[in-house]
Amino acid sequence: MSYSTITEIEHKLFCRSYSTLMSELRLDPNLSRALDSIETNRGWISPVALAKAAGLSRTVLSGRLRERTGFSPHQFLIRRRILEAAQLILSTDFSLLEIALSVGFRDMNGLDRNFKLLLAMTPRDLRKSGQA
């Protein structure tokens, strides 16, 4: 599989554009606070901290997010990290390790594993395809 635009990656990860999804989620004040926390912490936030930022229990946050996105808070965070990593891979010359760490993965293995699982390609494959 090869992606020629970030929009294609957004649709693969979220089944719609990320901006559309964010607009829908921001209609819920609690989810809006959770999203603000994600943006402030640049992906370095746990689902427990996300629920606290939203002012909800982890169970309620999980239910609301799953209802609106189809993903648990953990799955949503991973998908968001992958999207941000893809944007950086295609738009910068940062090393893949720098990108992995900056979007919230502890190491390259986490980035590689999740990238391959969600996009059926590695970060290196995406970088090569973006250079063509």
pLDDT tens column, 88-112 = 999 999 999 999 999 999 999 999 9
Residues of the chain with pLDDT > 90: what percent? Answer: 80
Name the residue with higher pLDDT: 113 or 45: 113
> Does residue 38 form part of some domain?
yes
Domain hosting residue 92, numbered range: 6-130
Residue with tokens 């990320």: 18
> Does residue 61 form part of some domain?
yes
> Does residue 1 form part of some domain?
no
What percent helix, strand, coil does the chain show, rounded to 5? 75, 0, 25
Could you tell me which of 104, 82, 96, 105 has the C-alpha nearest to residue 124?
96
CATH classification at residue 40 = 1.10.10.60
pLDDT tens digits for range 35-59: 999 888 866 788 889 899 999 999 9
Q: Are 103 and 81 in contact, with CB atoms under 8 Å apart?
A: yes
What is the distance between the terminal CA atoms of the chain, rounded to a whole angstrom?
A: 15
Q: Are 31 and 25 in contact, with CB atoms under 8 Å apart?
A: yes
Instruction: Work out how many domains the chain is built from and give that number.
Output: 1
